[in-house]
Amino acid sequence: MKYIFMIGFIILLMSCEQPKENIQSQLNSIANQYVNVIFQIGEYDENYVDAYFGPDSLKKAALSSKLSLKEIKKSAEQLIVELNNLKYDWQKVEIESRVKYLKRMLESAIARIKYLEGSKISFDEESKALYDAVSPTFPEEHYAKLVAELDTLLPGKGDIAVRFNEYRNKFIVPKDKVPAVFDAAIAEGRKRTEKYLTLPAGENFKVEYVNDKPWGAYNWFKGNAFSLIEVNMDLPIYVDRAVDLACHEGYPGHHAYHSLIEKNMVKEKGMVEFSIYPLFSPQALISEGTANFGIKTAFPGNERIEFEKNVIFPLAGFDPNEVEKYYEIMEIAAKLTYAGNDAARAYLDGKMTREEAIAFKMKYQLQSELRATKLMDFIDTYRSYVINYNLGQDMVDKYINSLGGTENKPEKRWQLFKELLSMPVLPSDLLVK
């Protein structure tokens, strides 16, 4: 009787599971339909499809007929049902991670459709639904302490926001020197990245300087390892933005990220779902988080200070002896970025007017009225997307450090960093237990 039971159990397992090749074929079919869903949403949301570098045939097929939002949502929901019905051995990690990734990206797509249909949810509910993460909330006392700490470092007396901006304005890169400063920062970022990451042959990007945009800079990945990076000249370019933007938008940030995703996930593994980048999705937190953490990865410890002192400050026409003081102040100011998240949350949840949110940012982020107003334009357009920069960086930072990628172990840090740029990863996968 025992043997009959075992035979029956084996037959049951065989009937429930399918060969790996068949599962991958089904996943490829679902992935193709997923690309269709993302393109269809993009027909209703001009900012949704940030990049596409897959087959032209898929794009043409997706755009050949326009579906209603209700129909697109139904298609996405059906794909989730198909993913749930797949039968396979969950120990096959590469299948499990792909299924999990596709499901979460489809759930995010459905959340965006609901927003486009007029659904109203809170800031935190939106960020969780779209980006798989929720930003912490800090009391005003938290920011007040940081502002008080800056008060002791800034020269002069009086209103701290005025003094902060007066001090920082001394380090605005003259417009005629911006290209040379950026070129130097990009070259150094690329050199440091190539030491640890093997980028696709012939990868490159072009930098253009633009105006009238709601963002400070943007990477438009075009495929075949090429990007167009636009830098908005409406706002002053402070000296620290050179390395920040060179790393964040270029190496080892967005340009390296998309180039490696294209090479490793799309071309080598045939995972077509990675050929399209929906901006309002969990992938955005990974992309922005790694781009910001990439700055620390490329310039660990005092290496950034030394590079700024020897190259960037002289190129910009500033006294290299001011570097240490400048970055001491900016390190504390960087901790105030979560005030921007809190202002966005209160504003979008209807607990602050736009004017009150601007005043909050001026008080606790020490922003000028011009900058605070400009960044509110970003919030009006991109809403809870703001969490992806600071929360994304902090999540990536904690994750990599928890696995041994500490500052004094650059090889391990770069290895873990590369993995995040080369595999299906969700923000919830980064949570440190």
| Tens-digit pLDDT profile for residues 196-218 | 999 999 999 999 999 988 888 89
DSSP 238: B
The span from the CA of 219 to the CA of 206, in Å, is 10
Q: What phi-psi label fits residue 223: left (phi over 0), alpha (psi between -120 and 50 degrees) or beta? A: left
- Determine the pLDDT at residue 88: 75
Beta partners for residue 209, in sequence order: 231
**Six token digits for residue 312:** 């960037």
Answer yes or no: is pLDDT of 75 > 50.
yes
**Six token digits for residue 320:** 């290299």
- Determine the pLDDT at residue 93: 73
- Measuring CA to CA, which residue among 234, 271, 264, 214 is closest to residue 95? 271
Measured over all CA atoms, what is the biggest interatomic distance in the chain, rounded to whole angstroms? 90
Q: What is the 3-state composition of the chain as percent helix, strand, coil, each rounded to the nearest 5?
A: 65, 5, 25
Buried b (16+ CB within 10 A) or exposed e, 231-255: bbeebbbbbbbbbbbbbbbbbbbbb
**Six token digits for residue 176:** 């005629």
- Determine the pLDDT at residue 422: 83
The span from the CA of 168 to the CA of 237, in Å, is 11
Q: Which amino acid is at 160?
A: I
Reported confidence tier of residue 433, pLDDT bands at 50, 70, 90: low
CB-side exposure of 36: number of CA atoms within 13 Å? 21
> Which H or E element spans position 278?
strand 276-278
Q: What is the mean pLDDT of the chain?
A: 92
DSSP string, 127-168: HHHHHS-------HHHHHHHHHHHHHHSSSSS-HHHHHHHHH
- Determine the pLDDT at residue 90: 62
Residue identified by tokens 């393109």 is 39
pLDDT digits (tens, 9 = 90+) for 250-303: 999 999 999 999 999 999 999 999 999 999 999 999 999 999 999 999 999 899
Residues whose CB falls within 8 Å of the CB of residue 89, separated by 6 or more in sequence, listed in order: 17
End-to-end alpha carbon distance in the chain:
45
Q: What is the mean predicted confidence (pLDDT) over 304-330?
A: 97
Residues whose CB falls within 8 Å of the CB of residue 357, separated by 6 or more in sequence, listed in order: 343, 344, 346, 347, 376, 379
Q: Which amino acid is at 317?
A: G
CB-side exposure of 139: number of CA atoms within 13 Å? 2
- Determine the pLDDT at residue 65: 84
CB contact at 8 A, 55 and 272: yes
The span from the CA of 249 to the CA of 130, in Å, is 22
CB contact at 8 A, 164 and 366: yes
The span from the CA of 77 to the CA of 88, in Å, is 21
At residue 185's C-alpha, the angle toward residues 249 and 330, to 5°, is 80
CB contact at 8 A, 219 and 249: yes
- Determine the pLDDT at residue 15: 42
The span from the CA of 390 to the CA of 398, in Å, is 12
**Six token digits for residue 395:** 């999540």
Reported confidence tier of residue 402, pLDDT bands at 50, 70, 90: very high
CB contact at 8 A, 421 and 257: yes
pLDDT > 90 fraction of the chain, expressed in percent and rounded: 87
Reported confidence tier of residue 123, pLDDT bands at 50, 70, 90: very high
Rg (CA), the chain: 23
Q: What is the mean predicted confidence (pLDDT) over 135-157?
A: 96
pTM: 0.91
> Which H or E element spans position 367?
none
The span from the CA of 62 to the CA of 418, in Å, is 32
- Determine the pLDDT at residue 215: 83
Q: Which amino acid is at 271?
A: M
**Six token digits for residue 263:** 């090479």
pLDDT digits (tens, 9 = 90+) for 12-63: 444 445 565 688 899 999 999 999 999 999 999 999 999 999 999 999 999 9
Answer yes or no: is pLDDT of 5 > 80.
no
CB contact at 8 A, 393 and 335: no
- Determine the pLDDT at residue 20: 59
Q: What is the mean predicted confidence (pLDDT) over 389-401?
A: 97
